[in-house]
Amino acid sequence: MEPVPPGVVRAIGGRFVDWLPALAVFALGLALWQGLTTAFNVQTFLLPKPTDIATAFWNDRGTLWDYGLYTLKEAAGGFAMGCSAGILVALLLARFRGLGLALLPFAIAANAIPIIAFAPITNNWFGLLNPVSKMVIAAVLCFFPTMINTLRGLTSVHPSSIELMRSYGGGELAVFRRVRIPNALPFMFTGLKVSAVLSMIGAIVGEYFGGPTNALGVSILNDSQLFDFPRAWAGIMLASAFGIAFYAAVSVAERLTTSWHPSARTFRSE
Amino acid sequence: MSVPGRVVSISGLTKSFKTGVTALQEIDLDIRPGEFVSLIGPSGCGKSTLLRIVGDLVQPTSGTVLVNGKTAHRARLDHDYGIVFQDSVLYDWRTVSRNVSLPLEMLGWSRARRKERVREMLELVELTGFESNRPWQLSGGMQQRVSIARALSFDPALLLMDEPFGALDEMTRERLNMELLRIWEKAASTIVFVTHSIPEAVFLSTRVVVMSARPGRIADVVAVDLPQPRGAETREQPRFFELVTAVREALAAGGRGQPAPTLPAGTEERY
Amino acid sequence: MAMASVPALERHRGIRVGASRAGGALRRVGTFVAVLAALCGLWEGYKWLWEWAGWTWPFTVDDVTMPHLHDILAAFAEPTTTGGPVLIDSLLHAAWFTAKEALAGFVLGALIGFGLAVVLAHSRLLERGLLPYIVASQTVPILAIAPMVVVGLGSKGLEGWKAVAILAAYLTFFPVAINALRGLHSVDARALELMNSYAASRWKVLWRLRVPASLPFIFTALKISATASVIGAIIGETPASIQDGLGGAIVNFNQYYSLQPTFLWATNIVAAGLGISIFALVALTERVVLRRAPENVA
């Protein structure tokens, strides 16, 4: 629900030098983790050693990967449903401003509802084993950030831009097609990137309240109940990695479609 | 009541807002083809509103506005005018050349015709070579030149300009003033120009319409008889200073809240 | 959230300021009632139509999947166990318990987030090194680590609710850190030069200039965090087998859903109410602290 700062946006696909500190922190953090868990003999149920997690993942890579893909599919389905609904509603609210202004406070309040608490209910609606039950939770999580950001993009248009369109005799349709929608794209992508991460979390949480055994969330839960913590952590890391990959994929799509935006800062060398 | 040979014909125009403020009162103004008319006045005198009423972007409360002998509404739908705002209002998501071709796209011109016209227009405003740049990569002056090229691209009979150089520095402004005169001559169009700079109004115009505030009225019309074509030396002629003084005094008279002189219709033709 | 506020650029054209405040409040209450009624009507209408037509897509509608609203309301007055307290009673207790966790986590997370932002704002190197991981931290499914955190911290002698508060803080710190960082960076270069002309120390620049400038950004984040802390508290409770809060109630009533669906719905309504209340609390604080005109708050 949070616009990611330009620094982070630029970090995706930025220059290698920009990544150096992050890589250094990664190496240092990993070494510290390994060193401290070994030195202080931290119990596995608190935090397993990175090497143990890596081993657990490697031993079960095929299975865990398939589980991850299953959950990613649920997330992607929910993402597609929630984001398209969000964009459609944003278009409607931008077209009918009075309606939008009246309903917006309710949308904001609704956004404060802990949607995740509804996971048991969607499980009940669609059945525990039906992936749609997880997709719906992911979709509801994706709906708000996408809708609110897109609406903001559609409406934060300079008044003169609209006057220009009207000076050409353009109507509401022309204003949407040539001004509002292009203007909304960067805003929409901010929402989509947040949604990408949320959809993965939504799918996992949905699975926590019950799901097929070949889902990553169910696997993590089972592993931790069976005290196989390295494998549980391997699953958690994989879920996180899939979330980041989804985010990165949306970022790439953003770069391709909104390269014109000043934040892309691709000055020609002159 | 179309007046032949008038690009703009305004009579008895009044505009009051819902708040009760009367922005414009009893405005009568005729503009002939080829004229360069400046609207000057203190802030709040409604000069920008008047310009927008001519462009059918704001609706008048009463009175008639004819553009090319048609209603302002019809004229807008017929693309009879181009408009330039104080900020260039270029779309970040379009390149310079696609910004210029925007009105042409809306008019349904073919790709080849658009390309040729964009080339001509960028040549006119001396921006050849910047076709594929993004607007935000240009300086403020260059952006405003793109905006002028866009406004002129479809050969409108009338060019409306709302303080187009107000946000620019003095040096850029004087250079663009010269360029605008050159473009005006070449494109042979009629220009209505809103400004708050007295020297700019005098330097550019054939007529300066001086407005008073609250309510906005035409306080005086000063005909500028400086010879054409004008150049840097125009600003040094004694006549230039006389006219600047005349406009300044007219502004001061209007600003002191003196009753605006009652102007019979067509007063501005007394010169 | 602030991104929902009506953009300033268009605000001055669309809305007429100056309508009497009482009239505005009345209209707002009217809209509220209308929207609520519309939602209820939609629920009951959908239920009726699907049951009448016998449609099973996208799911079968009956009194279990979609209980009548009046049944859900009636459930609040039913006893949870024979002879036990009525549902509303136990739910309010649970809500208070969860609110305690959420608020503790909210405060903790906000402080950590703010501290982190101050540190990162003063070091470009740290910002580059740590920011990607702060972002990545939010892709970890918190629910998945919840049992381990609760059990792990429990073995160190920490009470269950405090461990859940830490989980809530984990979700809370992120928006605050990111937004505060942006706010601290948002300071006008000339304002900084002015401070430098006074030879102000970094500390003074921070408190006199950077922090005040970042307040609107921080409040935007706090409103997001308010919701996040409630989510963190609820989902922290569920796998950790903490029975006293709303999360525990959700897990509990979920098991009896096919017998008593109204109890889970009632619990979720209370959870929604809690989320909205904490959000409203922060939004209200924002109004007082930033002294904004009501029109400027979405």
Q: What is the mean pLDDT of chain A?
A: 86
- What is the chain C residue with the closest CA to A196? C139
**C126 interaction partners in chain A (CB closer than 8 Å):** 21
Residue C91 lies in a domain: yes
**Which tens digit of pLDDT belongs to each residue from B88-110?**
899 988 999 999 999 999 888 99
Mean pLDDT, rounded, for B26-38: 93
> Which pLDDT belongs to residue C290?
82
Count of structural domains, chain C: 2
Task: Give, to the nearest 10 degrees, the angle between helix C246-255 and helix C87-121.
Answer: 130
Any chains having at least 3 CB pairs less than 8 A from chain C are A
Residue C110 and residue C214 in one domain: yes
The second-level CATH assignment, the architecture, of A6-261 is Orthogonal Bundle (1.10)
> Which pLDDT belongs to residue C15?
40
Q: In which band, very low, low, confident or very high, does the pLDDT at C2 lie, cut at 50, 70 and 90?
A: very low
Query: Closest Cα of chain B to A182: distance in Å?
Result: 7
- The reply to whether residue B93 touches residue A260, judged by beta carbons under 8 angstroms, is yes
Instruction: Enumerate residues 140 to 159 of chain C having a beta carbon within 8 A of any beta carbon in chain A.
Output: 140-145, 147-148, 151-152, 155
Mean pLDDT, rounded, for A186-203: 92
**Helix %, strand %, coil % for chain B, to 5?**
40, 25, 40
> Which pLDDT belongs to residue C149?
80
For residue B21, pLDDT over 90 is answered with no
Q: In which band, very low, low, confident or very high, does the pLDDT at B256 lie, cut at 50, 70 and 90?
A: low
> Which pLDDT belongs to residue A25?
87
Query: Closest Cα of chain C to A127: distance in Å?
Result: 9
Q: In which band, very low, low, confident or very high, does the pLDDT at C20 lie, cut at 50, 70 and 90?
A: low
- What is the chain A residue with the closest CA to B108? A168
Q: Three-state DSSP class for B16?
A: strand
A261 compared with C256, residue with greater pLDDT:
C256
Q: Three-state DSSP class for C94?
A: helix
> Which pLDDT belongs to residue A76?
97
Any chains having at least 3 CB pairs less than 8 A from chain B are A
- CATH entry, B8-80+157-270, from 3.40.50.300, 3.40.50.800, 3.40.366.10, 3.40.50.2000: 3.40.50.300
C166 compared with B19, residue with greater pLDDT:
C166
Q: Which of A167, A174, A262 sits opposite B92 (nearest CB)?
A: A262
Residue C33 and residue C119 in one domain: no
Residue C81 lies in a domain: yes
Task: Give, to the nearest 10 degrees, the angle between helix C160-185 and helix C124-137.
Answer: 140
Residue C110 and residue C235 in one domain: yes
Residue C35 and residue C165 in one domain: no
C-alpha to C-alpha distance for B198 and B176, rounded to whole angstroms: 16
**Which tens digit of pLDDT belongs to each residue from C134-189?**
888 888 887 777 877 887 787 777 888 888 999 999 989 999 999 999 999 888 88
C-alpha to C-alpha distance for B90 and B73, rounded to whole angstroms: 24
Q: What is the mean pLDDT of chain B?
A: 87
Q: Which of A79-88, B23-32, B224-233, C150-159 is least confident? A: C150-159
- The reply to whether residue B89 touches residue A161, judged by beta carbons under 8 angstroms, is yes
**Which tens digit of pLDDT belongs to each residue from A76-131?**
999 999 999 999 999 999 999 888 888 888 888 888 888 888 888 999 899 889 99
Q: What is the mean pLDDT of chain C?
A: 84
Q: In which band, very low, low, confident or very high, does the pLDDT at B255 lie, cut at 50, 70 and 90?
A: low
**C179 interaction partners in chain A (CB closer than 8 Å):** 2
ipTM value, please give it: 0.82
> Which pLDDT belongs to residue C93?
93
Residue C211 and residue C87 in one domain: yes
b/e per residue, B127-164, with b = 16+ CB within 10 A? beebeebbbebbeebbbbbbbbbbbbbbebbbbbbbbb
Residue C25 and residue C169 in one domain: no
Domain ranges for chain A: 6-261
Residue C60 and residue C163 in one domain: no
First to last CA, chain B: 23
For residue B188, pLDDT over 80 is answered with no
Contact indicator for B140, B76 with CB cutoff of 8 Å: no
Q: In which band, very low, low, confident or very high, does the pLDDT at B3 lie, cut at 50, 70 and 90?
A: low
Mean pLDDT, rounded, for C47-59: 90
A22 compared with A63, residue with greater pLDDT:
A63
> Which pLDDT belongs to residue B151?
92
Residue C8 lies in a domain: no
C-alpha to C-alpha distance for C69 and C72, rounded to whole angstroms: 5
Residue C168 and residue C232 in one domain: yes
Q: Say yes or no: B109 contacts chain A, CB-CB below 8 A.
A: no
**Which tens digit of pLDDT belongs to each residue from C187-199?**
888 888 888 888 8
**Which tens digit of pLDDT belongs to each residue from A24-74?**
888 898 899 888 888 887 777 778 889 999 999 999 999 999 999 999 999
Domain boundary among C25, C50, C66: C66
pTM of the model: 0.84
Contact indicator for B109, B91 with CB cutoff of 8 Å: no
What the block records as the tokens of B63 is 């009175």
Q: Say yes or no: A161 contacts chain B, CB-CB below 8 A.
A: yes
Q: Say yes or no: A263 contacts chain B, CB-CB below 8 A.
A: no
Q: Three-state DSSP class for B144?
A: helix
Residue C259 and residue C288 in one domain: yes
**B139 interaction partners in chain A (CB closer than 8 Å):** none
> Which pLDDT belongs to residue A4?
44
Q: Which of A25, A148, A200 sits opposite C3 (nearest CB)?
A: A148
C-alpha to C-alpha distance for C208 and C231, rounded to whole angstroms: 34
- The reply to whether residue A160 touches residue B134, judged by beta carbons under 8 angstroms, is no
> Which pLDDT belongs to residue C272?
92
Residue C273 lies in a domain: yes
- The reply to whether residue A152 touches residue C4, judged by beta carbons under 8 angstroms, is yes
Residue C279 lies in a domain: yes
C-alpha to C-alpha distance for A76 and C178, rounded to whole angstroms: 26
- What percentage of chain A reaches a pLDDT higher than 90? 51
Q: Which of A169, A182, A260 sits opposite B134 (nearest CB)?
A: A260
> Which pLDDT belongs to residue C105?
95
Residue C184 lies in a domain: yes
C-alpha to C-alpha distance for B150 and B135, rounded to whole angstroms: 13
Mean pLDDT, rounded, for B212-235: 88
Q: Environment class of residue A185 by beta-carbon count within 10 Å: exposed (0-12), middle (13-18) or buried (19+)?
A: middle
- The reply to whether residue C144 touches residue A97, judged by beta carbons under 8 angstroms, is no
Q: Report the candidate in B151, B162, B81, B142 with the shortest Cα–Cα distance to residue B121.
A: B151
For residue A16, pLDDT over 60 is answered with yes
Which H or E run includes B177? helix B170-187
Q: Environment class of residue B242 by beta-carbon count within 10 Å: exposed (0-12), middle (13-18) or buried (19+)?
A: exposed
Any idea which residue has 């970040």 for tokens? B92
Residue C21 and residue C135 in one domain: no
Mean pLDDT, rounded, for B29-54: 91
Domain ranges for chain B: 8-80+157-270, 90-155
Task: Domain of residue C43: give its range.
Answer: 16-66
Q: Say yes or no: A169 contacts chain B, CB-CB below 8 A.
A: yes
Q: Which of B189-193, C100-104, C148-152 is least confident? A: C148-152
